[in-house]
Amino acid sequence: MRVLVVTNLEPDESAPQRGRWVRDQIDEVRRLGVEVDVFAFPPGRREYLPATRRLRGLLRRSSFDLVHAHYGLAGWCALLAGARPLVVTFHGTDVRHEVVGPLSHRLAWRIDLVAAVSAALFAPEDGRPGLPPVPGSAVLPCGPDLGRFGPRDRGRARSELGLDQAGRYLLFPADPSRPAKRHDLAARLAACCEADLLTGGSIEPDRMPLWMNAADAVLVTSDYEGFGLAAVEALACDVPVLSTPVGVAPYALADVEGCLCAPFDLGAWEEAARRHLDAPDPRVAGAARAQTLSAARMAERVVAAYLAVTGGPPPTPPTER
């Protein structure tokens, strides 16, 4: 099976982590025996029309069994370029955004398989509608690469990052400039707990496990999430997570002692955070739950979806040498 992945979730200096989860999925799908080519283009409204033209030329020159676009507007590029059959994975902002959201809803009725990175994207959230109930829709998360994320010695992580060994640190792993991530709530909580707030956004992907292991807890204060990869990554490191009930958090954090999944309430969140900040080395038993959402496990679902669309034979994984 030969698949073309279309994505504009590409990293740059301001967001080096952007799209890493798509690349991780591609790597795992390839390990399952699928031949994957990638058509990537930069983010930005001026990039869509040129990308559609280039993609149309590629589809005329080459043959693919299926095209898989990540993000709604990239899906429109693929559709207008003539991609068929077409699978589109919606990631969150493309569903909830006031302008892009309605475009994604229209696209959903015009493609061969509607996929979302979490079931939450099919339901309303924070006053924003979810994806339409297109028959045969699927939930196809990307998942974290657990080869990168895992427990590390907290003291060594802090030393490598130049942090105070006795510091009180909460990690807000998102870009603070994105309003939906609600950095303001995380900042209020850190101030009340007399803790330092570490922030993401410009952290290199390969360094994120260090920052998570250096923190006493990870905060997800978002109004909404498509999937919520940071919560799963933190669980893989056995680091406590405090999250609003968005994306995959209700499943990922359920019954994991030491984690909190609840609407933001300063008093309740402060109580939960202080328990970890006051502990010498706070940890939770999160790795087993993270494993159920790993990139490798989710890639199996992606390949099954490809087979359902194409009706082709299962791919043969490459032989280990």
Is the confidence at residue 321, as pLDDT, over 60?
A: no
**Cis bond leading into 179, ω under 30°?**
no
- Does residue 317 belong to any structural domain of this protein? no
User: pLDDT category, 315, cuts 50, 70, 90?
Assistant: confident
Per-residue pLDDT tens for 248-258?
999 999 999 99
This prediction's pTM:
0.85
Same domain, 113 and 132: yes
Task: Tell me which of 35 and 12 has the higher pLDDT.
Answer: 35
- The radius of gyration of the chain from alpha carbons, rounded to an integer in Å, stands at 20
Asked if 115 and 64 sit in the same domain, the reply is: yes
What's the confidence (pLDDT) of residue 200?
Answer: 87
Token output for 230: 């940071």
Inside any domain, residue 318: no
- DSSP letter (8 states) at residue 314: P
pLDDT digits (tens, 9 = 90+) for 38-68: 999 998 899 999 999 999 999 999 999 999 9
Question: Are 123 and 175 part of one and the same domain?
Answer: no
Greater pLDDT, 34 or 120: 34
Give me the residues paired with residue 7 across strands: 40, 70
Reported as a single tens digit per residue, the pLDDT across 150-181 is 999 999 999 999 999 999 999 999 999 999 99
Q: Distance between CA 10 and CA 7 in Å, rounded? A: 7
Question: Number of structural domains, the chain?
Answer: 2
Write out pLDDT tens, residues 218-273.
999 999 888 899 999 999 999 999 999 998 999 999 999 999 999 999 999 999 99
125 and 194 assigned to the same domain? no
Task: Decide if 244 is inside a domain.
Answer: yes
What is the average pLDDT across 79-96?
95
Q: Same domain, yes or no, for 112 and 91?
A: yes
**Strand intervals (E) in the chain:** 2-7, 35-40, 66-70, 86-90, 113-116, 138-139, 169-172, 196-199, 217-220, 241-243, 260-261
pLDDT tens sequence across 174-214: 999 999 999 999 999 999 999 999 998 878 888 999 999 99
User: Looking at the structure, do residues 299 and 265 belong to the same domain, yes or no?
Assistant: no
In the block, residue with structure tokens 């040129």 = 50
Same domain? 77 vs 27: yes
270 with 192, same domain? yes
261 in the same domain as 161 = yes
Q: What is the CATH number of the domain that holds 177?
A: 3.40.50.2000
Residue 320 lies in a domain: no
Those residues with Cβ within 8 angstroms of residue 290's Cβ, 6 or more apart along the chain or in another chain? 144, 146, 149, 232, 233, 235, 236, 252
> Does residue 111 sit within a domain?
yes
Phi-psi label, residue 257: left if phi above 0, alpha if psi -120 to 50, beta otherwise: beta
One domain, residues 159 and 120: no
In a domain, 316, yes or no: no
Domain assignment present for residue 315? The answer is no
pLDDT band at 14 (very low <50, low <70, confident <90, very high): low
Query: Quick check: is 272 in a domain?
Result: yes
% residues pLDDT > 70 (the chain)? 98
Tokens of 211: 């920052």
Q: Are residues 136 and 89 in the same domain?
A: yes
Q: Within this chain, do residues 58 and 132 fall inside the same structural domain, yes or no?
A: yes
Q: Residue 13: what pLDDT?
A: 67
Domain with 281, as residue range(s), is 154-290
Q: What is the pLDDT of residues 102-112, one digit of tens each?
A: 999 999 999 99
Q: 228: part of which helix (H) or strand (E)?
A: none
